[in-house]
Structure 1
């Protein structure tokens, strides 16, 4: 088919379509137009040019053109209407999509509490108003709410200052109130006068009459601890049970004893000439109160104590409080009050006047088994040149060391003092200077390095001192070595009520053992060394196997 024939054929098909459409729209002229259609198709069917055929009949051509123009206009109108409807449909869909998005955003804002609907709508009962439907506080309610907040703050502030005053820190209590926003209020001024009066009534306690009591790890389960073998007999001698400890601190509190720290007794101070000197401090207490020091040895929870009725290790509970982990005879693990920490904390919380300015006990540590129940020593460290193959390696040693650092810091923050008990629990009286130096180096490397600051207290293992009752001097090489290591406070063991010695270089103090042996000796009537601080007949734990002898 030639291009001309293709054009003619397509022209014929388009014209037929137009004529058919006009016929359907205008039935009254269908016969005439149909006749024109037949002639028009005849011409085309014979191959004649369609435009030549139109020129042969001017009248029909004119009518046809008018009808054709009319139809074309109708088609265009219909096309425009269809386009308008499509456009409206698209706009409707768009609006629906936007509405859905806005609805989802509104739901999210309401669900998260970031949108208050009461601020978006007026009162549904009155279209002329724009107020929210939420209840409106009365002037009295608003005033009461405004007054309640500062009243609560003042109550809490006075509770804080009262606690400081109960712990005999009257200056801190006054400062707490005088630097607050309520400093000029009559209630605060009255409290300040009350604290000043209490402070004026205090008297200095004689620092030479401060007794020092000490314990080892407290026994939780006497049946597993105090067995009839060598280990059980040793535990029975040197350990104190939880009921005994609780009874002791209650009786000491009832008799007017108040916990102080070694640093409350005296401290090293820099003099005008740059030298350092130990200077006594005044401990001001109400008349009749008596200062005392407490310490606990071997706060390490050794391997040999595992499964013997003692705590496993020190931990933080879910509230960040210092607690102990304990495993009972059935293997059940619990977190609770299984040693001096936190039993002493609980007691001071209930009896703030048992503690002088927040003082607690001294915690003493060896190093060979790690500290606080964590195997942190280098002998457990696979990467250390001092690794001991006889020790089970601790794959979590780095993590455990970080945990111990946090526990040490928490102890200090809680009022406890930290002390050395040597690295290997060695006898300082019998060992040579070189041995003591090596042991001290290992203690510094493995224990002091985990503490928040330098340690200046040493509690001699076995109570074995480096000298007799005479003051230390620079001629004592062991003393010189320990001073160079940073120690200023030195404590032995002495069952007498009081032994304290002050020099320009040091404080020395004897410690009284409140253990099974010492309690039994008084309980059995063989001795009388504890009656000044407790009634042993109501303290001694009768679950202990007796008699208790010293091996």
Structure 2
């Protein structure tokens, strides 16, 4: 018993100490929980107040309206805001898109100038890389590209395109003329594809030969400075009689040029049920579409030349009829369309007023015809120095210098470029004018003289199967 009692007395203090330790641990745990709670509440309240301030800022345009003068507003950018560096990178990227658009059409000078106009462009890597690329490509360009001189450049011309061959080639008395002079839309599209694949590039007539001012103050003409890659071939395209004559409107042709909802030139066509359809029914919208899809087919935005007579108005509007109830509005419409088209790289030419043989025309008739064209058509399209001869018949047959009074009057009327028709390229650049022949892309050339086009096309892939056989 003595031994057991001693054992009990010896263990009693240890139990008391163990109990104290447990109480201490519990106290520590309670303190930790309480402290955690207060920390949580502090952070929660702080976050709530911060959101309130931010909401008040947004509602008041960024100003502190809480009434607490010492409230601090965070200056950290929101996810929708861009830093100055990010803004600059975005501006550089947008500028580069525009510069690339110039470069793809061989206007490297404009692309280079655009990049160098960007503030501190040397500090932007993408701009420096692009600039090096532009300058390198520019250094490889050659005057006239694959050609050695301007007189090798082709000038191809079309009449109004056949949009519905079932109407144009329906066996009536007009079929033979359409088969002789016209090109169908499928044929035109096939030609564009082959020209593009062979490296042809559209240029303006004023690119081919340009007017320069001499040291003595006089003016003269000289070959242009078309700078293209060595494998590219300059090409001029024009279209005659872009008037959409009345006799054609029910034979499967467009009836006039209009501007669409995006202010782009397109065409209207009269349908069988009397409705009017808007679409790619002639050369203008087709060429616009092709260049949009193949921007490198155009040198600095060049498109084509539209040659207009006057005796049935212009572009499908009867601006020759002063008694028409829409006469004034039609004049305004033509002016608006022409303005837009010029901005898009199109040029305009006189095709005479009455479409007569100007080789046989008298001097008096030449004056009358030219003056009337200027009054009724020139007043709408603005100044032009291009004269495209009706039927391709020149005012003179001389291979030397023009010498007739007819030339003197046309020159006095502002015409410097004169275009006839021949089976191959031919050009004459004189001090006071330029002559250039055009090659017809019509049924006669394709069916009767296919050898004349073999340097341009594989006609087996061009000729419309719905085109009638040739009849002499």
TM-score (normalizing by structure 2) = 0.82
Match status 1:347 vs 2:270: no
Could you tell me whether the CA contact under 8 Å between 1:213 and 1:511 is conserved in 2? yes
User: What is the correspondence of 1:329-344 to structure 2 with a 5 Å cutoff?
Assistant: 329-344=272-287
Match status 1:163 vs 2:101: yes
User: What is the correspondence of 1:355-434 to structure 2 with a 5 Å cutoff?
Assistant: 355-377=298-320, 380-382=321-323, 394-434=324-364
Could you tell me whether the CA contact under 8 Å between 1:269 and 1:276 is conserved in 2? yes
Matched with 1:14 is none
Matched with 1:478 is 406
Q: CA deviation at 1:425?
A: 0.5
Cα distance in structure 1, aligned partners of 2:62 and 2:153:
74
Match status 1:536 vs 2:464: no
Q: CA deviation at 1:147?
A: 4.5
Long gaps (5+) in structure 1: 1-114, 383-393
Could you tell me whether the CA contact under 8 Å between 1:122 and 1:129 is conserved in 2? no
User: What is the correspondence of 1:174-193 to structure 2 with a 5 Å cutoff?
Assistant: 174-181=112-119, 183-184=121-122, 185-193=124-132
Cα distance in structure 1, aligned partners of 2:457 and 2:63:
75
Q: CA deviation at 1:140?
A: 7.3
Match status 1:119 vs 2:60: yes
Could you tell me whether the CA contact under 8 Å between 2:200 and 2:234 is conserved in 1? yes
Q: CA deviation at 1:182?
A: 5.4
User: Secondary structure at 2:79's aligned position in 1?
Assistant: helix
User: Secondary structure at 1:529's aligned position in 2?
Assistant: helix
Cα distance in structure 2, aligned partners of 1:317 and 1:122:
47
Cα distance in structure 2, aligned partners of 1:517 and 1:143:
65
Cα distance in structure 1, aligned partners of 2:343 and 2:62:
54
Could you tell me whether the CA contact under 8 Å between 1:376 and 1:400 is conserved in 2? yes
Cα distance in structure 2, aligned partners of 1:420 and 1:503:
20
Give the counterpart of 2:434 among 501, 507, 511. Answer: 507
Cα distance in structure 1, aligned partners of 2:428 and 2:274:
47
Cα distance in structure 2, aligned partners of 1:469 and 1:290:
29
Q: Which has the higher contact order (CA 8 A, sep 6+)?
A: 2
Matched with 1:447 is 377
User: Secondary structure at 2:394's aligned position in 1?
Assistant: coil
User: Secondary structure at 2:121's aligned position in 1?
Assistant: coil
Match status 1:519 vs 2:446: yes
Residues 326 and 189 of structure 1: is their aligned pair in 2 closer, same or farther, counting only changes over 3 Å? same
User: What is the correspondence of 1:61-460 to structure 2 with a 5 Å cutoff?
Assistant: 118-119=59-60, 139=77, 141=79, 144=82, 146-181=84-119, 183-184=121-122, 185-205=124-144, 206-377=149-320, 380-382=321-323, 394-452=324-382, 454-460=383-389
Could you tell me whether the CA contact under 8 Å between 1:324 and 1:335 is conserved in 2? yes
Cα distance in structure 2, aligned partners of 1:401 and 1:251:
38
Could you tell me whether the CA contact under 8 Å between 2:57 and 2:63 is conserved in 1? no
Residues 120 and 372 of structure 1: is their aligned pair in 2 closer, same or farther, counting only changes over 3 Å? closer
Question: Which digits, 9 at most, give the CA deviation of each residue in 1:423-478, with x for residues without a partner?
Answer: 001101111111111100100000111123x21001101011112251333x3211
Structure number with bigger Rg: 1
Could you tell me whether the CA contact under 8 Å between 1:517 and 1:549 is conserved in 2? no
User: Secondary structure at 1:233's aligned position in 2?
Assistant: helix
Cα distance in structure 2, aligned partners of 1:226 and 1:348:
29
Cα distance in structure 1, aligned partners of 2:322 and 2:242:
21
Long gaps (5+) in structure 2: 1-55
Cα distance in structure 2, aligned partners of 1:120 and 1:359:
49
Residues 357 and 127 of structure 1: is their aligned pair in 2 closer, same or farther, counting only changes over 3 Å? closer
Could you tell me whether the CA contact under 8 Å between 2:350 and 2:387 is conserved in 1? yes
TM-score (normalizing by structure 1) = 0.70
User: Secondary structure at 2:446's aligned position in 1?
Assistant: helix
Q: CA deviation at 1:210?
A: 0.3
Cα distance in structure 2, aligned partners of 1:147 and 1:529:
60
Cα distance in structure 1, aligned partners of 2:373 and 2:188:
29
Could you tell me whether the CA contact under 8 Å between 1:168 and 1:356 is conserved in 2? yes
Q: CA deviation at 1:186?
A: 2.4
Could you tell me whether the CA contact under 8 Å between 1:182 and 1:188 is conserved in 2? no
Q: CA deviation at 1:270?
A: 2.5
Q: CA deviation at 1:127?
A: 11
Cα distance in structure 2, aligned partners of 1:241 and 1:283:
31
User: Secondary structure at 1:422's aligned position in 2?
Assistant: coil
Matched with 2:471 is 549
Residues 176 and 127 of structure 1: is their aligned pair in 2 closer, same or farther, counting only changes over 3 Å? closer
User: Secondary structure at 1:400's aligned position in 2?
Assistant: helix
